[in-house]
C-alpha cells in the first residue's frame, strides 16, 4: 500500500499526459505529410503517448523538477505529464526533441534513469538548435514504437 502515498501527487498525471500529447502533437506536419491518414496517425500517437518520450530523474539527486523544467524550457523543449513515484520524478517531451533533451540532461549531469535513446551522445548539439539536428536513421532493431507504426501504416497505404 506504499503506492497510495503518491496518489494525491499523481492523480492528474494520466490526464496531463494525454492532454499534453494532444496539445504538443505536430498536426500541421501530419496533415502535410499524409492528409487525413497522417492526421489520424498523429491522433493515435498522441492518445497513446507514442509521440512523446518519457524521462525519469532520480529525485534524490541535486536537481529538482523545477530546475530540470527550466533547463529544458530555456532550450525550447516543452515538457508535460510530470509525476513522482519511487524516488523518481518523470515527465514527457516531444519525440522529435527527445535526443536533444537527453543530450541536455546528460551534459548537465542530471541523473537520468530508465531507458535512454540510442546514439543520443553521438549527436553534435553544440550548435544549440531548439529541436536539435535530425537524428540519424535508426537501425531496424532500435526504432521506436511510433516509427514502427508509421512504417507499417506507410506500407499499408502504399507509400
Residue 125 and residue 34: Cα distance in Å, rounded? Answer: 29
pLDDT of residue 133: 45
Tens digits of per-residue pLDDT, 35-53? Answer: 889 889 888 888 888 889 9
Tens digits of per-residue pLDDT, 5-38? Answer: 555 556 677 777 788 888 888 888 888 888 889 8
121 or 146, which is more confident:
146
Q: End-to-end CA distance of the chain, in Å? A: 50
Tens digits of per-residue pLDDT, 90-129? Answer: 999 998 899 999 999 999 999 998 888 876 444 444 344 4
Question: Using the 8-state DSSP alphabet, how is residue 111 labeled?
Answer: -
What does the block give as the cell for 97?
526533441
Single out the residue of 91, 7, 28 nearest to residue 57, CA to CA.
Answer: 91
pLDDT of residue 86: 82
pLDDT of residue 15: 76
Residue 153 and residue 45: Cα distance in Å, rounded? Answer: 12
pLDDT of residue 73: 94
Q: Report helix, strand or coil for 121.
A: helix
Stretch (H or E) spanning 135 = none
Q: Report helix, strand or coil for 114.
A: coil
**pLDDT, average across residues 63-83:** 93
Stretch (H or E) spanning 54 = strand 52-58
CA atoms within 13 A on the CB side of 49: 14
Structural domain harbouring 44: 2-157
pLDDT of residue 22: 82
pLDDT of residue 130: 43
In sequence order, what are the beta bridge partners of 9? Answer: none
pLDDT of residue 155: 60
Stretch (H or E) spanning 75 = none
Tell me whether residue 2 is exposed, middle or buried, using C-beta atoms within 10 angstroms of its C-beta: 0 to 12, 13 to 18, 19 or more. exposed
Number of domains the chain is built from: 1
pLDDT of residue 3: 46
Tell me whether residue 153 is exposed, middle or buried, using C-beta atoms within 10 angstroms of its C-beta: 0 to 12, 13 to 18, 19 or more. middle
Amino acid at each position: 500500500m506504499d503506492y497510495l502515498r503518491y496518489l494525491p501527487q499523481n492523480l492528474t498525471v494520466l490526464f496531463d499526459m494525454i492532454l499534453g500529447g494532444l496539445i504538443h502533437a505536430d498536426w500541421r506536419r501530419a496533415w502535410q505529410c499524409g492528409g487525413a491518414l497522417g492526421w489520424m496517425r498523429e491522433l493515435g500517437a498522441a492518445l497513446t503517448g507514442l509521440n512523446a518520450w518519457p524521462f525519469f530523474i532520480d529525485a534524490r539527486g541535486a536537481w529538482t523538477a523545477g530546475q530540470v523544467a527550466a533547463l529544458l524550457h530555456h532550450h525550447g523543449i516543452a515538457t508535460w505529464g510530470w509525476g513522482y513515484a519511487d524516488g523518481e520524478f518523470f515527465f514527457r517531451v516531444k519525440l522529435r526533441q527527445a535526443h536533444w533533451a537527453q543530450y541536455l540532461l546528460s551534459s548537465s549531469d542530471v541523473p537520468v534513469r530508465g531507458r535512454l535513446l540510442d546514439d543520443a551522445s553521438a549527436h553534435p548539439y553544440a550548435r544549440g538548435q531548439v529541436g536539435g539536428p535530425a537524428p540519424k536513421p535508426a537501425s531496424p532493431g532500435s526504432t521506436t514504437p511510433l516509427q514502427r507504426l508509421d512504417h507499417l501504416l506507410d506500407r499499408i497505404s502504399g507509400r
